[in-house]
Amino acid sequence: MSDDTPPPNDPPNRRNQEPPFNWRGFLLFAMVGLLIVSALVLNPNSARSLEISYRDFIDIVTEDRIDKGKDLELVQQDTTTAEHIEGFYFKGTAASSESPGAGTPAQGGGSIRFKVPVSIQFQKEELKALMDEHGLVLIPRYRTNHWGAMLFSMLPIFFLLLLIYFLVRQQIKTAGRGALSFGKSRAKMLSQDRNKVTFKDVAGCDEAKEEVQELVEFLKDPKRFQKLGGKIPKGVLMVGPPGTGKTLLAKAIAGEADVPFFTISGSDFVEMFVGVGASRVRDMFEQGKKNAPCLIFIDEIDAVGRHRGHGLGGGHDEREQTLNALLVEMDGFDSQEGIIIIAATNRPDVLDPALLRPGRFDRQVTVGLPDVRGREEILTVHAKKVKLSEHADLSKVARGTPGFSGAELANVINEAALLAARKNLKAITTAELEEARDKVRWGRERRSLALSDKEKENTAYHEAGHAILIELLEHTDPLHKVTIIPRGPSLGSTMWLPEEDKHNNRKSELLDELVVAMGGRVAEEIQFGDVTNGASGDIRMASRIARSMVCAWGMSDSLGMVEYGESDSAVFLARDLGRTRNYSDAMAQKIDEEVKRLIDEAYAKARAILLQHKDKLDAIAAALLEYETLDGEHIKEIMQHGRMLNPPPPPTKAPTPPPLPKNTDSRPVSNDDAEEDGLPGGLAGVPA
The catalytic residue positions are 463
- The CA distance from 142 to 123, in Å, is 19
- The CA distance from 133 to 120, in Å, is 18
- The CA distance from 271 to 280, in Å, is 10
Give the other-Cβ count within 10 Å of 343's Cβ. 27
DSSP-derived 3-state class of residue 21: coil
Helix/strand/coil (H/E/C) assignment for every residue in 505-554: CCHHHHHHHHHHHHHHHHHHHHHHCCCCHHHHHHHHHHHHHHHHHHHCCC
Q: How far is CA 89 from CA 3, 51, 135, 141, 518, in A?
A: 80, 12, 15, 19, 117
H or E element at residue 496: strand 493-496
Query: What residues contact 659, with CB distance under 8 A and at least 6 apart?
Result: none
**Ramachandran sector of residue 445 (left: φ over 0; alpha: ψ -120 to 50; beta: rest):** beta
- The CA distance from 86 to 114, in Å, is 6
Query: What residues contact 193, with CB distance under 8 A and at least 6 apart?
Result: none
Number of H helices, E strands in the chain: 20, 14
Torsion angle of C-alpha atoms 407, 409, 413, 419, degrees rounded to 10: 100
DSSP line for 257-309: --S-EEEEEGGGG--SSTTHHHHHHHHHHHHHHHT-SEEEEEESGGGT-BPTT
DSSP line for 224-256: HHHTTT----SEEEEE--TTSSHHHHHHHHHHH
- The CA distance from 287 to 299, in Å, is 18
DSSP state of 348: G
Q: Are 61 and 124 in contact (CB under 8 A)?
A: no
User: CA 76, 82, 85: angle at the middle one, nearest 5?
Assistant: 55
Give the other-Cβ count within 10 Å of 297's Cβ. 26
Kindly report the backbone phi and psi dihedral angles of residue 113, in degrees, each rounded to the nearest multiple of 5, phi listed first. -80, 130
Pairing of strands 72-77, 261-265: unpaired
In this structure, the chain runs to a length of 688
- The CA distance from 409 to 371, in Å, is 12
Pairing of strands 294-299, 138-143: unpaired
Kindly report the backbone phi and psi dihedral angles of residue 477, in degrees, each rounded to the nearest multiple of 5, phi listed first. -75, 155
Helix/strand/coil (H/E/C) assignment for every residue in 548-595: HHHHCCCCCCCCCCCCCCCCCCCCCCHHHHHCCCCCCHHHHHHHHHHH
- The CA distance from 260 to 33, in Å, is 47
Please say whether the dihedral angle defined by the alpha carbons of residues 393, 397, 398 and 404, taken in this order, is positive or negative: negative
Ordered alpha helix ranges (H), 54-187: 54-62, 120-133, 146-173
Q: How far is CA 68 from CA 111, 138, 197, in A?
A: 11, 11, 95
